[in-house]
Amino acid sequence: MKFRPPNQRHRPLSILHHEDSFVVVDKLPDFLSVPGRDADMDDCVVARIRELFPAARGSLAAHRLDMETSGLMVLGLTPDAHCHLSLQFEQRRVHKSYIALVEGIVEADAGHIELAFRVDVHNRPLQILDPIHGKRGITDWEVVERRPTNTRIRFIPHTGRTHQLRVHAAHPEGLGHPIIGDRLYGKPSSQGRMMLHSTTLTFHHPEDETQLKFEIPVPF
């Protein structure tokens, strides 16, 4: 079930905002946040930032987006900024929202999902429900638009588990409507990508604690 990202070296990384201590980018779909394990999977957000900002030091990525997901990411350009931003994510001080297109018509207008899940050790990176050994993921959602064959949903995650929104969207105990183009929990799409986009990101400035909010349009 492993999917290798396409070669995207010809596509530039969109820099939305940068200061001495951090940078906010719009990640491409089907593009890695951090380097993959294989030697030919080194093109990623972190690598591009190191090229664009040679003075950047440390791990840089305060969080990750799934390879298939596009949208907002923040990276620390100094060890102190990276530590500060990472701690904000750990303490759930960062607020995010995503827009997705899901298969079918969602009848309810809004809802709340709490499901515990973990990686399937026999079928990585697939996540499976496990109320005993899994980690709880918490997501709020609301319908933005109903279309003839699909529904536009706003997801607001309150935890940051691996594949959280994808599992919560697809599983019958969650929304029960897979995200269009999700190869793991749904099916491939003729659109050529998974329809999940990180559209708003609110965090505190790593130097003076000023609250910052970034918002970008949805490309689908």
Rounded Cα distance, 181 and 196, in Å = 9
Active-site hit among 26, 43, 66, 182: 66
* Backbone phi and psi for residue 9, each to the nearest 5 degrees, phi listed first: -65, -20
Percentage helix, strand, coil for the chain under 3-state DSSP, each rounded to 5: 10, 35, 50
66 in catalytic set: yes
Structure tokens at 41: 């999977």
Residues 6+ apart with CB under 8 A from 101: 150, 151, 152, 153, 179, 180, 195, 220
Q: Are 15 and 75 in contact (CB under 8 A)?
A: no
The residues annotated with a catalytic role in the active site are 66
